[in-house]
Structure 1
Amino acid sequence: MSRTTRATQALTQSDTAFTVHLYAYDPDAERVGLQAAEALGAEPGEVLKTLMILVDGKPACAVIPSDRELSMKKTAAAFGGKSAQMMKPADAERATGFVVGGISPFGQKKRVPTAIEAEAMALPLVFINGGQRGLQVRLAPGDAAQVLEAVVAGLVA
């Protein structure tokens, strides 16, 4: 498995401090983020999942703790929209250039508005998908928000 992806390249180019962590990805896991947390020996709230959504029909990205559920109402409001819905997996893959289970908010084919759950900002370090199944990057959540030019808001139900 390569440790270099578009996501890790984007972080390197932005001079963001991060580490790469590989784990045994389980394609049959019911919840990929929780499986990643267990495999990495991390708390589920420290592993953030990347969700591709549509806000008023336009692509956006939400990054939330893997043990939490996205509130569509709060997420739409965070982006200044009226409604939000999950993007279909095939559309998410096309929009990001990554495969489901390996979607990262970093290094996507086309930059989209991104929001990070405010709760995550209290943690010293978080894991976020590094652009490949079985690859996570670990970095300060404030650094992630800065690189992504993300809105920090309450997004979870």
Structure 2
Amino acid sequence: MSRHDPHPPETPATRFLRQQHIAHSSHLYAYEDHGGTAVSARELNVPEHAVIKTLVMENERREALIVLMHGDRKVSTKELARQTGHKQIAPCDPAVAQRHTGYMVGGTSPFGTRKALPVFMEQTILELPLIYINGGKRGFLVGIHPHDIIRTLHAKLVHVAIE
């Protein structure tokens, strides 16, 4: 698919958004391996702070969870463990993350995951009027209102951002 394809891809995430009646815009861009949110923000001409990463992590019992974080911030896993009542939280191996979500790393969306996973969202994301989050495919973001994540994914708010 070229970035000029007028039709956004159909993914489990876009099906979920439609089923939940969540208004969203579709944004295709030229994906770059290891480019991260800096590339998507540049390509879409939006602040990297408004591009939200979907990170798959696991606790000490190897139970997966999703963390949503600003593109220009990192997650304090120590603080996340403390706020969620776990001894330890660490990033999942990419292959394990793909098994849990059904998405390739770089295209992971919190919507329409293979398994229902607990979602934790950096609370400052709610301060943004619009966010851009992965739509389930590399090079594809959707623009949504952040409160829709709370409503549909029952995300729990945490304060774990590191600049």
What is the TM-score with the length of structure 2 in the denominator?
0.91
The AA in structure 1 aligned to 2:123 is A
Structure 1: 5+ residue stretches without partners: none
Identity of aligned residues (%): 35
Work out which of the residue numbers 41, 51, 54 in structure 1 matches 2:55. 51
Tell me which structure has the larger Cα radius of gyration. Answer: 2
Query: What's the CA shift for 1:78?
Result: 3.3
Distance 2:151 2:79 in 1: 21
- Render the CA deviation track for 1:48-99: whole Å, top value 9, x for unaligned: 0010000232100000001101100221133222210000011111111110
Partner of 2:5: none
Alignment length (residue pairs): 155
Q: Which runs of 4+ in 1 moved over 3 A?
A: none
Answering whether residue 41 of structure 2 is matched by residue 37 of structure 1, we say yes
Q: Partners of 2:151 and 2:83 in 1: how far apart?
A: 17
Q: 1:13-68 CA deviation, whole Å, 9 max, x = no partner?
A: 01111111111111252xx1111111110101000001000023210000000110
Q: In the alignment, which residue of structure 1 is the partner of 2:92?
A: 87
More deviation, 68-77/123-132: 68-77
Partner of 1:148: 153
Aligned residue in 1 for 2:21: 15
Residue 120 of structure 1 corresponds to which residue in structure 2? Answer: 125
| C-alpha distance in structure 2 between counterparts of 1:78 and 1:108, whole Å | 24
Tell me how large the CA RMSD over aligned residues is: 1.1
Structure 2's unaligned 5+ residue stretches are 2-7
